[in-house]
Amino acid sequence: MRILLKFYQSINLLNAILSFVIGLGVLFSKKLSKQIIQFSLFAFFVSLWALFYFLAFQSKDYYISAIYFRTCMIAGALILPMFTEFVFTFVGKKINPIYRWLNWGLSALIISTIYTNYYAFDGGPILVFHYWPVIGVMSFIQIILYGINVFFSHRELFKASKSSVHFLRQQAKIILFGTSLGYFGAATNFLLWFKIPFPPIFNIFIPIYVVSVAFAITKHELMDIRVAITKSVSYGMVGVLMILSFVIVNIYQLSVILSIAANSLLGLFWAFLARRAREFIQTPIEEKWIVGWYDTDKLIIEIIKLLIPVYESKEAFKILADKLIATIRIKNIHIFYAQKDKENKSVKFALSDNSCEFSANNPLVAGLKGVTKYDDLSDEIKDSTKDCKCLKNSLLIPLFSTEGLEGVLVLGPKISEDAYDEKDFILFRILMDQALMVLDRIRPYENIQKEFEANQNKLYKAEMQIEKTQRLASLGTVAAGVAHEIRNPLGILQLSIAELNPQNISNPEFIKKFKDESTQNIKRINGIIHSMLSLSKGATSEKIAINLNEIIDQTIAFFVFKKVRLAKDYSGAPKIMGNPEELKQVFINLIDNAVRAMPNGGELKIKTYIDGGESVIEVFDTGSGINKNDLPKIFDPFFSTRQDGVGLGLSIVYRIVNDHNGKIIAKSESGAGSQFTIKFPAII
């Protein structure tokens, strides 16, 4: 029996302490509300009920035990209506005024009779209890009122547990579970009132109720008191350390002067260290106990450091989203970017994959003034964005520059399923202000980048046009060679036709020879014409496996070398991946430049060989060479040492070689000729 009594005492003391700590934590929360006040009062009433229950067990005096027990019932009478008020506020419903007045009126009437026989008659000891009353009229009414309050409050909690709002549904389920156990355990106390000798062993469920609600608070952000509770614990631990230090100092019998000095020094020590000690204790508690806990100031500083080197708004948005996901533990964040026209005005907002978008004239754009829950927006806005499924049940953080909305962060739920609390909203507002400064800093760079890209595009088109012109101009250079090449097969065809006479027509061998020679020369002419057309049209970007020796020979066929002596030194160069027509353009430019550099004659040597995994082509000439100061500039567009030169030939060569993942190197001395070396990756 003694063990059972100790068990009951421990359970009620634990319940009193837990309920008091939770109620105290609520009062320490940053922002008071009706729900917070109701919950804190409810927790205090439970604490008082458990405390006087504990004292009634503790006292061995019959009459003092009776006073404690009846005082306990005052708190019990207040628990019922306060719990119902809290539940209706929690689920967002208004309580019926008649029911409210009857509830509180009957509770007040019951309290007024607590210490009289109208409430209960004094009973004798029963089981392990020194005192237990016998049920009276008002205590019977209290039992009925108990059942009515439990029914109505749990009915609302059950409805909330079926809510479409995820976090409300989860909170309601936890509270429903805990309070069902708690009220069931408390109800077993009524059995002894009817002289049924069944001990209220299920009182153990009452602390479980307290722990369940505490879990709902810490896990699901019921009332943003987690930081308040950890702060209370840290302050309490520091307070205990301070008291212990002063106790230890004053244990020893010191003189008055030494005692004053020691206590003064200890006081100065704690004045300097108390705040730091509290932070040292509080921070790890918050980090370990609170899922998704973060230090706002520290997080802001980290984000600012990450944004300092950023010069693109999309990258800035990505940094914000990634940091929030990692720190607050958010399941997902979608980013809507502003897409702008040539005048830099927003025309629409879209996700990066364009799976969802809305125009700049959408009511959502005008409706976003700050951090907003999507569910709180007007029906007009929701209807205009109904196709964007990612917006449902989300939190929207608009990011502005001084010119308007630049993007929107769409925050999904937290991984912990907590609701976003006031601390989160404060952080998001600070991030909006920081984003404003960052976006205003970025904007000039983005404008310059857009202008640069536009100018680059224009320059590229101009270069392509000039390149085409250069190719056409090159036709004039090779026209004589082409005319010579065509004249030869045409002359042969002419001679063959002249030999057509009745005698030869009847000769089968002549006809066969005439057919073969004509076909061969026509093919040769077609090949020359095809090459000319390809050169004038330009090349496509398609690359195939080609033999460089064949490409060089096809290019040489365009030229007539009168005073220049041509020397070829071909090795078994492997194939490379390239565009034949573009590579012909490379060799046309190099050969043409070499020929022009030798107006009085000279030697042009073309050599190919393999060096490691590269195919190498060397083009030598014994011409006038290139001035030492001009050599670094020869690949620059529009640079030319000839008065009739356009200055694009070698820049085109450089671009084509670079496009083929190759390298080109020029060596030259004035009056000593030039050497161009080209290296391409070989197909191994």
Specify the pLDDT at position 224. Answer: 45
Supply the CATH classification number for the domain 296-452: 3.30.450.40
Give pLDDT, residue 132.
77
Q: Span 598-613, mean pLDDT?
A: 88
Fold of 2-224: Rhopdopsin 7-helix transmembrane proteins (1.20.1070)
Mean pLDDT along residues 336-353: 76
Write down the pLDDT at residue 303: 87
437, amino acid identity: M
- Read off the pLDDT of residues 294-343 as tens digits, 9 standing for 90 and up: 777 888 888 888 888 888 888 888 998 898 888 888 888 998 888 877 66
The set of residues, in sequence order, having a beta carbon less than 8 Å from that of 311 and lying 6+ positions away, is: 442, 445, 446, 449
Q: What is the reported pTM?
A: 0.42
Name, in order, each residue with C-beta under 8 angstroms of 501's C-beta and a sequence gap of 6 or more: none
Q: What is the pLDDT of residues 165-195, one digit of tens each?
A: 656 677 778 788 888 888 887 888 788 777 7
* 566 pLDDT higher than 80: yes
- CB-CB neighbours of 142 under 10 Å: 27
Domains 2-224 and 542-681 equal at CATH topology level? no
What average pLDDT is seen over the chain? 77
Residues 624 and 674: their CA atoms lie apart, in Å, by 8
Share of the chain above pLDDT 90, in %: 4
Mind listing the pLDDT tens digit for each residue in 42-95?
888 888 988 888 888 777 787 888 888 888 888 888 988 998 888 888 888 888
The pLDDT tens digits for 631-681 are 888 777 666 766 555 566 787 888 888 888 899 998 988 888 899 999 999
Partners of residue 545 on adjacent β-strands:
577
- Model pLDDT, residue 12: 74
Strand partners, 607: 569, 618
Is it the case that residue 220 has pLDDT exceeding 70? Answer: no
Predicted confidence at residue 207, as pLDDT, reads 67
Task: HSE, CB side, 13 Å, CA atoms: give it for residue 53.
Answer: 28
Residue 486 predicted with pLDDT over 70: no
Instruction: Tell me the per-residue pLDDT of 11-23, one tens digit each, with 9 for 90 and over.
Output: 777 778 878 877 7
State how far the Cα of 200 lies from the Cα of 192, in Å rounded to an integer.
8
CATH of domain 542-681: 3.30.565.10
CA 357/CA 337 separation, integer angstroms: 9
Q: Is the pLDDT of residue 221 over 50?
A: no
For residue 264, give both structure tokens.
């003064």
| Mean pLDDT comparison of 69-83, 431-445, 493-507, highest-scoring range | 69-83
- What digits encode the pLDDT tens for the residues 514-559? 777 778 777 767 766 655 554 444 445 578 888 888 888 888 887 7
Question: What is the rounded CA–CA span in Å between residue 516 and residue 502?
Answer: 19
Q: Where are the domains of the chain?
A: 2-224, 230-289, 296-452, 542-681
Helix, strand, or coil here: 600? coil
Quote the CA–CA distance of 337 and 320 in Å, as a whole number: 13
| Distance, CA of 9 to CA of 6 (rounded, Å) | 5
* Residue 123, token pair as written in the block: 């009973």
pLDDT of residue 128: 66
Kindly tell me if the per-residue pLDDT of 145 is higher than 60.
Answer: yes
- Report pLDDT for 627: 83
